[in-house]
Amino acid sequence: MLLDIVLHPDERLRVHCTPVTEMNDKLDQLLSHMFDTMYDAEGVGLASTQVGENQRFCVVDVSEDRSKPLVLINPEIIDHKNTITWKEGCLSIPEVSAEIVRPKNILVRALDRDFKPIEFEADELLSVCIQHEIDHLDGKLFIDYLSPLKRRRLMDKYAKQQKAQTP
């Protein structure tokens, strides 16, 4: 089942999510729907806020063949080093992208889909994607990293695109 993706400037994207306290069938089914939605939209990550939920979880798969689905519940970055500049986009702000500087290497701690603790290192695209999704869980968008001028230009472009697509 495909879910509706919340689009900017919807205030639900600015919610700071609460921790997940238990895994249940409803959450497991929602995670499956989130993967379906992410793959259908040709994304590599999708946070709960992007589908109208306000708990701390996201789904990620940066593999080209969609073979490495990753569920992160209550994720946190516990260490980082180096930097990388990556052109980021967002399913909640379609057709808009910008180069963002983030840590290149991160150490992530979370719970997996079985609600078991995991800890792993990520770099390059996986690192950028996880940071982007954790930002969503904290009510932050990639455009928040831009200068006010660049952000305004991108949002003006986005507004024009949205207006042109409205029947």
11 tagged catalytic:
no
Strand boundaries in 54-150, DSSP class E:
57-60, 70-90, 93-111, 117-123
* 80 contacts: CB under 8 Å, gap ≥ 6: 103, 105, 106, 107
Question: What element of type H or E holds 47?
Answer: strand 45-47
**76, 95, 99, 133: which one is catalytic?**
133
Q: Which residue has the tokens 């900017």?
A: 8
Q: What is the CA radius of gyration of the chain?
A: 16
Q: What count of other Cβ atoms lies within 10 Å of the Cβ of residue 36? A: 15
Active centre residues (catalytic)? 133
